[in-house]
Amino acid sequence: MGLVAQMDQISGGSFILTRMDEVINWARANSLWPLVFGTSCCAIEMMMATGAARHDLARFGAEVVRPSPRQADLLILAGTIVKRMAPRLRTLYEQMAEPRYVIATGACTISGGPFVYNSYTTIRGADQIIPVDIYVPGCPPRPESLLYGILALQKMIKSGESLREPGIRKKPVVSELPPGVKLEDITLELRQILGDEGITNIPEEIARREWSTGL
Amino acid sequence: MTVHISTLNDRTTVPENSKSSLNTQEFFINMGPQHPSTHGVLRLVLKMDGETIREVIPVLGYIHRSIEKICEHNTYRQIVHLTDRMDYLSAVMNNWAVSMAVEKAAQIELTDRIEYIRTILAEMQRLQSHQLWWGVTGMDLGAFTPFLYGFRDREMLTDIFEETMGARLTLNYIQPAGLMFDIHPDFVKKTKDYLKYFKPKLEEYEALLSANPIFQQRLRDVGILDREKAVSLGATGPVLRACGIPYDLRRVEPYGVYEKVSFKIAVGSVGDCWDRYSVRMEEMRQSIQIIEQLIDNIPEGKFITKKPAAKITIPEGRYYSQMETARGVLGVLIVSTGKEKPYRFHLRSPNFNNLWTITQMAPGSRLGDLVAMVSTLDLVIPDMDR
């Protein structure tokens, strides 16, 4: 998928027609250059394990990891951000060339993680400092999760900005369900599993709580 | 006793009549906090004279997460999971250090099975930590292949860990009074298979990187650390042993089942980067030997001696215990008022003391050599700042 699906063939075969937006977004999505920003544990799992041979980030066109923000267009936040580091992070983000994308990996960059209570230094979520496009949860997330996050970002870029309206991004529904599966089915199955294992009294739990997410 | 306090501003102002060699002027540069070779967010302010380093001023605090303060609000069982995130490359040993401190203070008895499994896992983690260090050191000094080799072998060990503990990096396996779960039925077999696989690979490591003349030249006689200075700065672990001091807590104050196994302590002679490199390579071999001696003899028994829900209280007083992680001595100080939560919880991290040796060894050498020094010190920054 990608560019080929967006092409129209003209009879004779010498020309192809496509839109400029599609070409640019296709090129952007497949040549992401990440910036190394590893502050703690997630850096080992995310940057190093994904860069190594087994999980191989290079398959998705994002292996050119750069230490300089001037050469990068994807900021992968890996690790806790504390108050002293926050201005530096903001500077790094502002030094990156547009269009720039941000992936927040791990519980710490999303919400503060294990350091959310009683900590006087931790920033509760990187999105308080810079805009974040994709969140990858985990503590630390498995390398597969980051790969999924990058694929989701590529999807977002491909369907996202247009030349006429730069800066406006359409965020895709990342957790798209496979065909034939409904959210209600998953909910029922989850309740079944929970009920079978006897961890919680399901009817009581349902009566006690309000399920805001539809679960 | 007088204490001289100077701010970073004072120290980075160049006096007008500063001593500079011909045609050069002293100036300051920042290395970090965003720098690939510092492996994290370490900031080194360097006073330079041309290409020569005159002074190194480490500036910390860019990943200070106030773990010690959070610990004061948590019970002794809850503290353990925070220690995974300090020195994440030796997570098992960090868990063990805290658990050991609590067990000693609360006088909890352990079974032999617990001690054996803990020792085996600690050595496996040491092996894994050194594998990562070996790969990253190669990468810092311009050889990318070791990184791929080191991670190839590390991932296999991670698989064995994942099977038993359910996590890849932040293992959170050892808790006060025992272990979270028993080991996986395949654990013993897979570990033995792995050791059989890894032994020839270690020789491959030597042939690939140690025998490389360019790599040797970048490490030999670079960053020589004086023996007295290493001791006075409180350096521990491979950094201290590379200076020729055979101080290893596994031998000096044995814990776990280290008394029952025979192993050698790797010691360097000069104290340069090459010695630190060789000491770690030898430690990998010794770790394999220790695991081989223990893996067949894991006794039967309970894997936890107290109910997980049982409250742990420590009698009033101050308690200190320490152990040898992959980087040096990790000390745990608990000040208890007899309650479920500690009154004060202090950690003596090996990396913090090891870092300050760089202020002694770097002056006089070139900027490029600083990367080799930082690399062979094997620093984990979140452990320093906590």
pLDDT of residue B279: 92
Give the residues of chain A that fall short of pLDDT 70.
1-17, 160-177, 183, 190-191, 193-215
Residues from chain A contacting residue B70 (CB–CB below 8 Å) = 115, 117-119
| Angstrom distance (rounded) from CA B36 to CA A34 | 13
| Cα of B63 to nearest chain A Cα, Å | 6
Instruction: Say how far apart CA A193 and CA A200 lie, in whole Å.
Output: 11
Classified as helix, coil or strand, A80 is coil
Residue B159 tokens, joined = 């698989």
CA pair distance B205, B224, nearest whole angstrom: 24
Q: Do A114 and B82 lie within an 8 Å CB cutoff?
A: yes
- The conformational region for residue B154 under phi > 0 = left, psi -120 to 50 = alpha, else beta, is alpha
Q: How far apart are CA A142 and CA A46, in angstroms?
A: 8
Closest by Cα among B286, B303, B294, B300 to B260: B294
Find the chain A residues whose C-beta atoms sit closer than 8 A to any C-beta of B: 36-41, 43-45, 48-49, 51-54, 67, 79-80, 82, 84-85, 88, 92, 114-115, 117-122, 139-140, 142
Nearest residue in chain A measured CA to CA from B74: A118
Which residues of A are less than 8 Å from B61 in CB distance? 82, 84
Contacts of A84 in chain B (CB under 8 A): 61-62, 64
Closest Cβ–Cβ partner in A36, A79, A88 for B36:
A36
User: For the segment A8-56, what is each residue's pLDDT rounded down to a tens digit?
Assistant: 666 666 666 677 777 878 888 888 888 878 888 888 887 777 777 788 8
Q: What is the pLDDT of residue A172?
A: 53
Residues A169 and A160 sit within 8 Å (Cβ to Cβ): yes
Per-residue pLDDT of chain B (386 residues; tens, 9 = 90+): 677 777 777 777 766 665 655 666 778 888 878 776 667 788 888 888 888 888 898 888 888 888 888 888 888 888 888 888 888 888 899 999 999 999 888 888 888 889 999 999 999 999 999 998 998 888 888 888 888 898 888 888 898 998 888 888 888 889 888 888 888 888 899 999 999 999 998 888 988 888 888 888 888 888 888 888 889 988 998 999 999 888 988 888 888 888 889 988 989 888 889 999 999 999 999 999 999 998 888 888 888 888 777 788 888 888 999 999 988 899 999 988 888 888 889 999 899 999 999 998 888 888 888 888 888 888 888 888 88
For an interface test with B, the pick among A37, A44, A45, A120 (most B C-beta atoms closer than 10 Å) comes out as A44
Q: Which two tokens stand for residue A195?
A: 């009920």
Paired sense of beta strands B178-179 and B43-49, if any = unpaired
- CB-nearest to A118 from B63, B73, B88 is B73
pLDDT of amino acid B130: 92
Using a CB-CB distance cutoff of 8 angstroms, which residues of chain A are in contact with residue B155? 49, 52, 54
**For residue A25, is it left (φ>0), alpha (ψ between -120 and 50) or beta?**
alpha
CB contact under 8 A, B89 and A44: yes
Task: Tell me the chain B residues in contact with residue A37 when contact means C-beta distances shorter than 8 Å.
Answer: 34
Q: pTM score, two decimals? A: 0.82
Helix ranges (H only) for A50-177 are 50-51, 86-95, 106-111, 143-158
CA distance B21 to B17: 12
User: B336 and B200 in contact (C-beta within 8 Å)?
Assistant: no
Among chain B residues, the shortest Cα distance to A92 is held by B34
How far A119 CA lies from chain B's nearest CA (Å)?
6
* CB distance A29 to A157 below 8 Å: yes
Chain B positions with Cβ closer than 8 Å to A? 33-36, 40-41, 61-67, 69-70, 72-73, 81-82, 84-85, 88-89, 132, 136, 147-148, 151-152, 155, 168-170, 381-382
Contact B340, B237 (CB under 8 A): no
Identify all chain A residues contacting B147, using CB atoms and an 8 Å cutoff. Answer: 48, 51-52
Residues from chain A that touch B72, judged by Cβ atoms under 8 A, are 118
Cα gap A15→B248, rounded to integer Å: 73
Q: Spell out which residues of chain A touch residue B82, defining contact as CB-CB under 8 Å.
A: 114
Sign of CA dihedral B376, B381, B382, B386: positive
Q: Give the closest of B41, B65, B381 to A119, CB-based.
A: B65
Write b or e for each residue in B33-43: b if 16 or more Cβ atoms lie within 10 A of its Cβ, otherwise e.
Answer: bbbbbbbbbbb
| A52 interaction partners in chain B (CB closer than 8 Å) | 147-148, 151-152, 155
Summarize pLDDT for A185-198 with one digit per residue, the tens.
777 776 676 566 54
Element (H, E) at A205: helix A202-208
Residue with tokens 């399901």: A202
Q: Are the C-beta atoms of B386 and B346 separated by less than 8 Å?
A: no
- Among all residues of chain B, which has the CA nearest to that of A80? B63
**Most A CBs within 10 Å: which of B39, B81, B82, B85, as the mutation test of the A interface?**
B85
A-interface mutation test, from B31, B37, B39, B41, most A Cβ less than 10 A away: B41
**What's at B218, amino acid-wise?**
R
Q: Which residues of chain B neighbour A119 with C-beta distances below 8 Å?
A: 65-66, 69-70
Region of A188 (left: φ > 0; alpha: ψ -120 to 50; beta: rest) is alpha
ipTM: 0.80
Nearest CB among A54, A114, A118 relative to B81 is that of A114
* Number of helical (H) and strand (E) elements in chain A, helices listed first: 8, 6
Phi and psi angles of residue B231, each rounded to the nearest 5 degrees, phi first: -70, -45
Task: Please state whether B172 falls in left (phi above 0), alpha (psi between -120 and 50) or beta.
Answer: left
CB B243 within 8 A of CB B190: no
Measured between CA atoms, the residue of chain A closest to residue B88 is: A41
A-B interface: how many C-beta pairs under 8 angstroms? 100
Subunit contact B62:A53, Cβ cutoff 8 A: no
